[in-house]
Chain A
Amino acid sequence: MNPNLQQVNHFFNKKRFRLSLILVILGLAYAGASLGLGFQTHSLLNIQDGIAWLIQNFIPNEASKGYWHEISQQLFRTFLVAVAATTCAAVGALFLAIIGAKTLTAAITVSWVIRGFSSLLRNIPIVAWAMILLFSFKQNDLTGFLALFFMTLGFLTRAFMETIEDFGTEKIQALQATGATYLQVIFQGLLPEIAVALMSWILYMIENNVRDATLVGLLTGTGIGFIFNLYFKSLRYGAAGLVVLSVILLVVTVELISNLIGRLLS
């Protein structure tokens, strides 16, 4: 047999063997995980049941039209809270990121402290935030605002820090060589250069927070999440469907606006 051909065969056999090994491992992991959870795979085949149920029950009917006023009011409120939380967090995060970025920081320990702090804020689950805040701040918009604020502060500090570190040190050094002060370097050199990147992070977070605001509302009993829970658990499915529809509308609109701004920025 041609040695060349043998080599080629050997190569492909090895490749096939590795592929099947990976597939077997993934299959076993899937089976193990579903066993551990008590998940039955055949329920994946019943997904259409859910959709059918959704279409049957969740179509807003005549009776649910009366809820429209309340829903739109709460939806607008939720949107405002999400935007305000993101904006406030962005201001704080920019400040922390400038102090903490490795390329700008005065001492490397400060950088590590801020990194750890942002990681802590980010990884405490939003459920825990919502519950602790609910206990002290009671059932109002401020609770939802603060829960979103803390999560977003963690995320944006990390994101801004990495953006600033990607900016590099050459331009900062060049500016310092011309005699620019610390504040001049930041406001004249750094910020104009990274403004577009920061903006896209903020827009992404607003999108995310509009969605998360529903969850926070569900847990803390405010905004659109609360009225969804209320209608859903009192079996007023038509009104709940109207809430889902309005959430879709809001999220898609925010996404379209942020895409538009992104296109204007590029």
Chain B
Amino acid sequence: MIKPENQISLPTQVPTGPRLTIPLRFRDRRRITIMLTLLVLAYITLITLPTMIPSHFKLGAALMSFTENIKIMFLQPHLTNTTFLTLLGALGQSILLAFLTTLLGSVLAFFFALASTRRLAPTPLVLGIQSLMAVIRAIPTVLWVLIYSVVFGLGADAAVVGITFHSVAYLTKVYADSMDELSPDSIETMQAMGLKKGTIIRQAVIPYLVSSYFSWTFIRFEINFADAIAVGAAAGAGGIGYQLFMSSSFYFNFHEVGVMVYMILAFALVLEIISYRLRSVTNQ
């Protein structure tokens, strides 16, 4: 190689002004966000944990009695105050409650979702419905049931209406989010063809929504089943939750609680198998 005598070199301009050396990784927004969030969470946890343990508290004794109760619950389940058939009936009632509220909720929420999707509805309506639903969602289901049990009296009516409220608010949000994923092109094309809104909904929105509609509705059914049990216990609305509450906080009979927990687990297993099947069907 022959090298030239005078190498040509272009002087690079040194930037003027303050030179801050920030390592690249600190400029990554995601990294900072994750780090800061974890830091805040860890800080809150660390300051909360010591204050939670009350004074004069014997952790060892509590743990001993806890494992003892768990053992009684899972290893020696048997019934004394009620019969198995009564409990089966109560479980059936909780399942019916979950079914009915999911059905009502999914039908009502579908129409609310149509009115609150950005693809079809005007923006003020979308914002209005979505904030109303956010407020309804923010109130726990039990509080809704308690409020309605004063108006309607204790019983099925209050439980159904209370759980339906929360279901509608939840399902409206997830259905509307699913509808928003539909690309605007297809709707614009149909509008350009002069089709009416009803036709657009029937031919474009519904076929697109069907699969996510079913999976979200099923998820809500599982949540409603758990809520039905909780509501039965906390608001006295009947079903297996009420039985659970009676035997655990009135009779202190953990053998009975064990039977009920096994029954609930059996139904949860059935639901899990169904959801597994549904997922493998939709994935095909």
Q: Which residues of A contact B (CB under 8 A)?
A: 26, 29-30, 33-34, 36-40, 43-44, 46-47, 49-50, 53-54, 58, 80-81, 83-84, 86-88, 119-120, 122-128, 131-138, 140-142, 145, 195-196, 199, 202-203, 211-212, 214-215, 218-219, 225, 228, 232, 244, 247-248, 251-252, 255, 261, 264-265
> A251 to B141, alpha carbons, bound, how many Å?
13
Most chain A CB inside 10 Å of its own CB: which residue of B29, B152, B252: B152
Q: Which residues of B contact A (CB under 8 A)?
A: 29-30, 33-34, 37, 41-42, 44-45, 48-49, 52-54, 57, 62-63, 65-66, 69-70, 73, 92-93, 96-97, 99-100, 103-104, 134-135, 137-143, 146-148, 150-152, 155-157, 160-161, 226, 229-230, 233-234, 241, 244-245, 248-249, 252, 254, 257, 260-261, 264-265, 268-269, 272
- Inter-subunit contact A49/B157 (CB<8 Å): no
- Inter-subunit contact A50/B66 (CB<8 Å): no
Give which listed residue, B100, B151, B241, B264, contacts A53 with CB less than 8 A. Answer: B151
Residues of A within 8 A of B92 (CB): 36
- Inter-subunit contact A132/B96 (CB<8 Å): no
Residues of A within 8 A of B226 (CB): 125-126
Closest to A233 in B: B146
- Inter-subunit contact A124/B264 (CB<8 Å): yes
A215-B257 CB under 8 A given contacts A49-B151, A80-B44: no
> A137 to B58, alpha carbons, bound, how many Å?
9
Residues of A within 8 A of B137 (CB): 251
Residues of B within 8 A of A39 (CB): 100, 156-157, 160
> A199 to B265, alpha carbons, bound, how many Å?
29
Most chain B CB inside 10 Å of its own CB: which residue of A34, A58, A135: A135
Closest to A196 in B: B30
- Inter-subunit contact A215/B230 (CB<8 Å): yes
For this complex, 10 residue pairs linking A to B, each with C-beta atoms less than 8 Å apart, are A33-B99, A34-B100, A43-B161, A44-B161, A122-B268, A123-B269, A142-B54, A214-B142, A218-B234, A264-B29
- Inter-subunit contact B248/A125 (CB<8 Å): no
> A14 to B260, alpha carbons, bound, how many Å?
45
Give 6 new A-B contacts, CB below 8 A, not counting A124-B265, A136-B65, A211-B138.
A26-B103, A37-B156, A39-B100, A145-B52, A195-B34, A215-B141
B12 to chain A, nearest CB (A): 34
Give which listed residue, A196, A225, A244, contacts B139 with CB less than 8 A. Answer: A244
B159 to chain A, nearest CB (A): 8
> A219 to B29, alpha carbons, bound, how many Å?
42
> A58 to B139, alpha carbons, bound, how many Å?
14
B242 to chain A, nearest CB (A): 10
Give which listed residue, A80, A251, A261, contacts B33 with CB less than 8 A. Answer: A261
A127-B244 CB under 8 A given contacts A33-B96, A141-B52, A251-B138: yes
Closest 3 CB pairs of A and B: A131-B248, A251-B138, A123-B268
Residues of A within 8 A of B66 (CB): 132-133, 136-137
Closest to B153 in A: A43
A264-B244 CB under 8 A given contacts A84-B45, A131-B257, A142-B53: no
> A247 to B42, alpha carbons, bound, how many Å?
23
A14 to chain B, nearest CB (A): 16
- Inter-subunit contact A29/B103 (CB<8 Å): yes
Residues of A within 8 A of B62 (CB): 136-138
A37-B93 CB under 8 A given contacts A29-B99, A30-B100, A252-B134: yes
Closest to B65 in A: A136
> A126 to B244, alpha carbons, bound, how many Å?
11
> A19 to B203, alpha carbons, bound, how many Å?
14
> A74 to B244, alpha carbons, bound, how many Å?
27
A42 to chain B, nearest CB (A): 9
- Inter-subunit contact B140/A212 (CB<8 Å): yes
- Inter-subunit contact B97/A265 (CB<8 Å): no
Residues of B within 8 A of A215 (CB): 140-142, 230, 234
Residues of A within 8 A of B37 (CB): 199, 203, 261
Residues of B within 8 A of A80 (CB): 44, 48
Residues of B within 8 A of A199 (CB): 34, 37
A193 to chain B, nearest CB (A): 12
Residues of A within 8 A of B249 (CB): 131, 134
Residues of B within 8 A of A214 (CB): 140, 142-143
Most chain A CB inside 10 Å of its own CB: which residue of B34, B104, B140, B234: B140
